[in-house]
């Protein structure tokens, strides 16, 4: 059984507190929050004050995904805002800064690492022991509602095997085009992020259908 993390980018922002409580009541395990800076990805979303506000009303943990350049500058602020899981991109800074950021996150929350679809997943090998979670993007990061990239499934398989071989216990999360049709490719994942699929239907039914 998978853990489900509805992506609030697909929610009705005019009624955000109501939406958050509704998906929590419908059985969501985490709330996935995408933070974009308009530089690392070509879109702008929300910042620290909104994460703080969401934390105040969310009955479930916040799974915060930073799609920003130089995330090391903002780690403390997002941890202070209430991130329970804080995920940064492999491509967003130097390898040394990424290592330092993961270590800092892990001292106060769950550390997450992700990569863009075009990045070779084997680049993550030395960083896996620092991760509580690894997020596989099955769409190009930046916008919701994109089609699932089936060629990314091999990254999930590689991570699953590395976890076994290295005797690690990080969780594998998948984000992008997750729905009833693509769920069949995701048996080796632990957490599934879904946005429009959940928020455009009956929340409880949609969550259960991909669990």
**Per-residue pLDDT tens over the stretch 93-125:** 999 999 999 999 999 999 999 999 999 999 999
- The pLDDT score that the predictor gives to residue 4 is 99
Taking the whole predicted model, whether its pTM rises above 0.75 is answered as yes
The number of folded domains in the chain is 1
Contact between residue 60 and residue 43 where contact means Cβ atoms under 8 Å apart: no
Q: Which residue range is the domain that position 141 belongs to?
A: 3-210
* 175 has catalytic annotation: yes
* 34 has catalytic annotation: yes
What does 129-189 look like in DSSP terms, one character per residue?
GG-SEEEEESS-TT-SSPPP-GGGHHHHHHHHHHHHHTT---EEEEESS-STTTGGG-TT-
Please choose, from the candidates 81, 46, 53, 30, the residue with its C-alpha nearest in 3D space to the C-alpha of residue 194: 30
> Would you place residue 63 in the very low, low, confident or very high pLDDT band (cuts 50, 70, 90)?
very high
**Per-residue pLDDT tens over the stretch 16-48:** 999 999 999 999 999 999 999 999 999 999 999
- The pLDDT score that the predictor gives to residue 142 is 80
**What is the rounded distance in angstroms from the CA atom of residue 124 to the CA atom of residue 175?**
18
Catalytic residue among 132, 151, 175, 190: 175
With 80 as the cut, is the pLDDT of residue 143 above it? no
Catalytic residue among 34, 37, 63, 132: 34
List % helix, strand, coil for the chain (3-state, nearest 5).
45, 20, 35
With 80 as the cut, is the pLDDT of residue 50 above it? yes
Q: What is the dihedral of CA 66, 72, 77, 83, to 10 degrees?
A: 40
Report the CATH number that the domain containing residue 103 is assigned in CATH: 3.20.20.70
**Per-residue pLDDT tens over the stretch 154-203:** 999 999 999 999 999 999 999 999 999 999 999 999 999 999 999 999 99
- The pLDDT score that the predictor gives to residue 182 is 98
With 80 as the cut, is the pLDDT of residue 86 above it? yes
| Partners of 67 in the β-ladder | 36
**What is the rounded distance in angstroms from the CA atom of residue 150 to the CA atom of residue 179?**
13
């Amino acid at each position: 059984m998978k853990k489900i993390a509805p992506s609030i980018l697909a929610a009705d922002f005019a009624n955000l507190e109501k939406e958050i409580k509704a998906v929590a009541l419908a059985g969501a395990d985490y709330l996935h929050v995408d933070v974009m800076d308009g530089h690392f990805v070509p879109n702008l979303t929300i910042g620290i004050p909104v994460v703080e506000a969401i934390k105040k009303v969310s009955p479930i943990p916040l799974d915060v995904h930073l799609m920003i350049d130089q995330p090391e500058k903002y780690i403390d602020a997002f941890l202070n805002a209430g991130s329970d899981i804080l995920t940064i991109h492999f491509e967003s800074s130097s390898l040394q800064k990424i290592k330092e950021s993961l270590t800092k996150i892990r001292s106060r929350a769950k550390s997450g690492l992700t990569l863009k679809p075009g990045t070779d997943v084997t680049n993550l090998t030395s960083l896996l022991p620092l991760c509580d979670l690894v997020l596989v993007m099955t769409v190009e990061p930046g916008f919701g509602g994109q089609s699932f990239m089936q060629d990314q499934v091999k990254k999930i398989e590689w991570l699953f095997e590395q976890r076994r071989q290295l005797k690690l216990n990080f969780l594998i999360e998948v984000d992008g085009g997750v729905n009833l049709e693509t769920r069949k490719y995701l048996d080796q994942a632990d957490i599934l992020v879904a946005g429009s699929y959940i928020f455009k239907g009956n929340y409880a039914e949609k969550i259960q259908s991909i669990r």
